Amino acid sequence: MAHEEMVNQFVERLRAAADTNLVSVVLYGSAAEGEFHPEYSDLNLLCLVRDASFAALTKIAEVMEWWRGKKHHPPLVLTPEELKRTADVFSIEFVDMKQRYRVLWGDDVLKNLEIPMHLHRSQLEYELREKLFLLRQHVMLAGTNEKQLWEVMLQSLTSFTTLFRHVLIEFGNAGRQHSLDAVKELGSKLNFDSSGFVQLIDVRAKKIDRKQLRPADVAARYLDAIEKVAAAVDTMQSSSANS
């Protein structure tokens, strides 16, 4: 597959540039499980280095520029110590990484990573509110442009389904679910209409033709569902029992 070849090239270039400073390169997210969607998925990479000083970063800058030139997001670059120390404030990201990842080179830095959950609910509320506010801005900018409105919803879908899975974690469901199952289960628990999410997931999977739907109607139900989930998370107690 083209993205697999691209990732392998990145690892080779990074190993040559970083030399002994490189500890590990990890692919995480949809691509790590063979669920990569060329239109809506990112190639997410975690790079662990012993030294993250300016001088050390300068040595690998050319590799990162090459990667960005291939239209991919820059990798996350951390030291092993930073990975351990920031697991509590980035619990959403690191829980997701541990659920779907593949070591491309070096040490398996995620296998034994402990993730404290006492700040998880607060981070979840922040992420939901921030992304909801940004979504509203983009919806307003799209206006009556139906094509643009579809793109706004489809591009934001993964972020919100990820956060919905984390709301289920707050309910005690630690297992990773498919996005569709997670949305339906959360809709049942919180009593909101999940049909906007379901239709967007089906459109992205090409199970239904978007021409059969009114984007304004989908957007109304999509936004309403997110608002209800954000409001519910605001009233939840922190799941410190999960830490």
**In the structure, what pLDDT confidence band is assigned to residue 155 with cuts at 50, 70 and 90?**
very high
106: region left, alpha or beta (phi > 0 left; psi from -120 to 50 alpha)? left
β-strand 76-78 against 44-49: which pairing, if any?
A: parallel
Q: Where are the domains of the chain?
A: 2-106, 120-242
pTM given for the model: 0.87
Cα 118 from chain centroid (whole Å):
20
Mean of all residue pLDDT scores within the chain: 93
pLDDT at res. 174: 78
Domain 2-106 fold is Beta Polymerase; domain 2 (3.30.460)
Residue linked to tokens 């662990």: 48
Tens-digit pLDDT profile for residues 92-132: 999 999 999 999 999 999 999 999 999 999 999 999 999 99
Distance CA 115, CA 96 (A): 11
As a residue count, the chain comes to 243
Higher-confidence residue of 171 and 176: namely 171
pLDDT at res. 37: 62
